Structure 1
Amino acid sequence: MLPRCFYPAVVFVKSEWDVVVAGGGPAGLFFAIKAAEGGLDVLVLDKKQEIGSPVRCAEGLGVDGVNMLLNAGLPDSDGWKGWPVKGAYLYAPNGRSVRIPGNGYVVERPIMEREMAKAATRKGARVLAAHDVCDVIKEGGRVAGVRARFLGEEREFRAPLVIAADGFESLLARKAGLNTFQPAYHVDSGFEYLMSGLDIDADAIHLFFGRDVAPRGYVWIFPKGDNTANVGIGIDARLDATAKQYLDRWIEKHGKDYGLSNASVLEVRGGGIPVGGFLKKMTADGLIVVGDAAHQVHPLHGGGMFLAMEAAEIAADVALKAFERGDFADSTLSEYNDRWWKLRGRSLETALKLRYAFERLDDEDFNYLVDVLGSEDVLAMAEGDAGAVRSIALRVLKDRPRLAWKFREFIGDVVMGSGG
């Protein structure tokens, strides 16, 4: 046994905090940065042995998200910002494509999250890896802290406010009594290779659509520079074939067309992706739920980092107000629900209706849409702009009325005006 002086400092972490955050991903860490910046005593607990690993996403982040992180104190470094891209190509099954303009980055997520943890620490928060939060502590019916396992030892951390940022299978939200049930219909299965030795246009992201390519989803290539890219797929999790099987089949069939024939596989990743089922209620007495734990993921493309940080920023502002009042009741914290739904929830519901419609499209429909939709149309749909989408739908349906049935829910709620 090592002498006592060699035990890590985390053994002696205090047990009383203003806020305990379960989860050290983008949502939890961004909350910690903003809350600590406002003067709160914040502890972040993450179950992973290493902050930022393993990677379970394609690592794309728009300029707005990168600027949020720069403004939050991350260094302006390519180390975490990764590879700059200028928009994306969307490919129909027949190979035709439309280019969507834009600027963003394929970030190095492990480095990004570690830089976020450092920024939170500089502002006064404490971040502890290898702490698996396993239960909530309740007092008088309200959440009053968490229990976490560290190297086989169970420890308690108490706080008047707990942030559940523990991923889309959130344990804490359920333990607190919130309904976080996610039907299989709203879950996609993702699988990805980090590949090297590619010969592709590295200035843009590449997205491939089609019923045979990726039912309800798409294949992606996210360039990372130096002939390296994240090559992955997201599909309906209910299918008999796995995401890996679909991706391998696509690479075997089309890899040579997109410079993958001689590529090496450096890393393999996979996991579930929530693509709908947004929580109507994300607060309880002493608890706020953010990020994937609140299903705050875009239902069309499955991206969630920016949405997670955006929600975390709202949550931090609400938390600071709660401490000013000394009131952590659900009725106070529910301001977070109202603000998030007003800012983002409605547009994501519009995007979800579009997802329902796209699920019914066959390859001929995809080919048609890529031919007739412009880049601004695609951007409007991705942003869930109900007014713009209404105009697009009317134009498309006039030219191709057989799509009306496939867009039936969307037509009823948006085109007819009740969802706008």
Structure 2
Amino acid sequence: MDVAVVGGGPAGLFVAARCAEAGLDVMVFEEHPDIGEPVHCTGVISLETAELVKLTEDIVLKRVRRAHLWPPSGPAADIVWDGGWREQILAIDRGALDRSLAAQAREAGAVIATGARVSSISLGDDGVDVAAGERRVRARACVLACGVCYRFQRLLGLGLPGRVLHTAQLEVDAVAADGIDLHVGRRVAPDGFAWVVPVRRAGRDRLKIGVMASGDAGACLDRLVARADLRQRLLAEPGTPVRRLVPVGHIGKTYAERLLVVGDAGGLTKPTTGGGIFYGLLTASIAADTLIEGFQQGRLDEGFLSGYERRWQERLGPELRVASWFRYLLTRLSDTEIDALVRALARHDLQALLHATARFNWHRDLILALVRHRGLSGLLLRTLMR
């Protein structure tokens, strides 16, 4: 076998499809019995991401054109991107996305083994030994796409993410809504934010309600759902939330002898929001390009594969550095300062700045514009003096 991929999420399936299309013999190991289950992700993406994965219309649950940013107290700042705004935002069926990517990988020739939890990975000069239950496979190269699970990264000396946050999310029948609600504040979601995303599934309007926070995300979610303004929108009792961890800092090293690490497995998510789909797909694409070149040149050694990290650093490094710094600033704001920030974002001049610089997948330009803005620079940079 040429390539063993550990993990059957979007990043793993995407790299598998790309490698198989190039004629490589690929096997994907997915620990769960069904691709796309359980769903951990909210599934809000941009048109850029949809085009990258050749997303079909049946996977789109709702096109989102408005967001309401709620501070700890006071009115929301409304952000609308109807008409001329350069990006479309889509709420998708994340499980269906995974199944679509699996179909693409199989069509390209990859084999997908489900219910196959990898128990060991052994790197050698002449191959990689992968064990999953009774199955033993020797591959010429391996890709870690195992999501927020860092056992192998630690054992292989690749390091751990700089930080992880906790999330909790549920989905419930609700009154139809026209936009996303985002809630920020030290009590609502310390070091993170909460979201309420409207979707339409099987002819029914529903809400995805979730929290990302540094503490007990489940407790934060309970408080959010108990709010009267949200409770009155629900048409059923909320169920048990799905919990997961989200990395907000990449691991120390994303390559080794005959091995690459992509997406969440490498801690490669947006530091501002924790979103991982686009970064996962982008790093998977770079990994596939690197492996294909490596097979063509007979080079799967650590020295050659280090080019993968150099490439994703060239694409994502500036974004990660600026966004990580901005996250640090935001986590130092008090609720009073967050109120002031949201009030400022509602002003006409800052609305114009948002429309000119905001991009769903690329946050650097917007962050730099906000920090340089006369009305915000003092508020944001004061946090560095504390």
| Alignment TM-score > 0.5, same fold | yes
Go from structure 1 to structure 2 and tell me whether the alpha carbon gap of 1:137 and 1:390 turns closer, same or farther (over 3 Å shift).
Answer: closer
From 132, 139, 152, the counterpart of 1:159:
139
Cα distance per residue 1:242-293 (max 9 Å; x no partner) = 211111112212x4257435433356311111112x1342110100000101
Q: Tell me by how many angstroms 1:381 deviates.
A: 10
From 351, 369, 372, the counterpart of 1:394:
372
Go from structure 1 to structure 2 and tell me whether the alpha carbon gap of 1:146 and 1:39 turns closer, same or farther (over 3 Å shift).
Answer: same
State how 1:95-106 maps to structure 2 within 5 Å: 95-101=75-81, 102-106=87-91
Go from structure 1 to structure 2 and tell me whether the alpha carbon gap of 1:147 and 1:381 turns closer, same or farther (over 3 Å shift).
Answer: closer
| 2:69 equivalent to 1:90 | yes
| 2:227 equivalent to 1:247 | no
* Partner Cα distance (2:41, 2:285) in 1: 21
* Contact 1:25/1:52 (8 A) holds in 2: yes
Go from structure 1 to structure 2 and tell me whether the alpha carbon gap of 1:61 and 1:382 turns closer, same or farther (over 3 Å shift).
Answer: closer
Partner residue, 2:190: 215
Other structure's SS at 1:228 match: strand
From 184, 188, 191, the counterpart of 2:165:
188
Partner residue, 2:180: 205
Q: Tell me by how many angstroms 1:400 deviates.
A: 6.9
* Contact 2:172/2:235 (8 A) holds in 1: no
Cα distance per residue 1:197-217 (max 9 Å; x no partner) = x22523x22211111211111
Partner residue, 1:281: 253
| Greater alpha carbon shift after TM alignment, 361-370 vs 48-57 | 361-370
* Partner Cα distance (2:293, 2:28) in 1: 20
Question: How large is the RMSD of aligned CA atoms in angstroms?
Answer: 2.3
* Contact 1:193/1:269 (8 A) holds in 2: yes
Go from structure 1 to structure 2 and tell me whether the alpha carbon gap of 1:67 and 1:20 turns closer, same or farther (over 3 Å shift).
Answer: same
* Contact 1:291/1:307 (8 A) holds in 2: yes
Cα distance per residue 1:68-108 (max 9 Å; x no partner) = 111xxx6x241x23222224322222232231534122111
Cα distance per residue 1:219-257 (max 9 Å; x no partner) = 101111132021010101xx3xx211111112212x425
Go from structure 1 to structure 2 and tell me whether the alpha carbon gap of 1:40 and 1:263 turns closer, same or farther (over 3 Å shift).
Answer: same
Among all aligned residue pairs of Structure 1 and Structure 2, give the percentage whose two residues are the same amino acid. Answer: 28
Go from structure 1 to structure 2 and tell me whether the alpha carbon gap of 1:403 and 1:166 turns closer, same or farther (over 3 Å shift).
Answer: closer
* Contact 2:11/2:284 (8 A) holds in 1: yes
Cα distance per residue 1:364-390 (max 9 Å; x no partner) = 21222222233444827973425x534
* Partner Cα distance (2:268, 2:68) in 1: 25
Partner residue, 1:363: 335
* Contact 1:20/1:145 (8 A) holds in 2: no
Partner residue, 2:120: 135
Other structure's SS at 2:317 match: helix
* Partner Cα distance (1:95, 1:49) in 2: 45
* Contact 2:176/2:206 (8 A) holds in 1: no
From 151, 161, 164, the counterpart of 1:171:
151
State how 1:305-344 maps to structure 2 within 5 Å: 305-344=277-316
Go from structure 1 to structure 2 and tell me whether the alpha carbon gap of 1:84 and 1:40 turns closer, same or farther (over 3 Å shift).
Answer: same
From 268, 280, 284, the counterpart of 2:241:
268
* Contact 2:161/2:251 (8 A) holds in 1: no
**Structure 2 residue runs without a partner (length 5+):** 82-86
Partner residue, 1:115: 100
* Partner Cα distance (1:89, 1:116) in 2: 32
**Structure 1 residue runs without a partner (length 5+):** 1-16, 410-420
* Partner Cα distance (1:249, 1:51) in 2: 32
Q: Tell me by how many angstroms 1:143 deviates.
A: 5.5
Cα distance per residue 1:328-375 (max 9 Å; x no partner) = 011111111011011012212210111111001122212222222334
Partner residue, 1:415: none
* Partner Cα distance (1:166, 1:206) in 2: 30
Go from structure 1 to structure 2 and tell me whether the alpha carbon gap of 1:144 and 1:381 turns closer, same or farther (over 3 Å shift).
Answer: closer
Other structure's SS at 1:215 match: coil
Q: Tell me by how many angstroms 1:173 deviates.
A: 2.6
* Count of matched residue positions in the alignment of Structure 1 and Structure 2: 370
Calculate the TM-score normalised by the size of structure 2: 0.89
One-letter amino acid of the counterpart of residue 333, structure 1: L
* Partner Cα distance (1:164, 1:77) in 2: 30
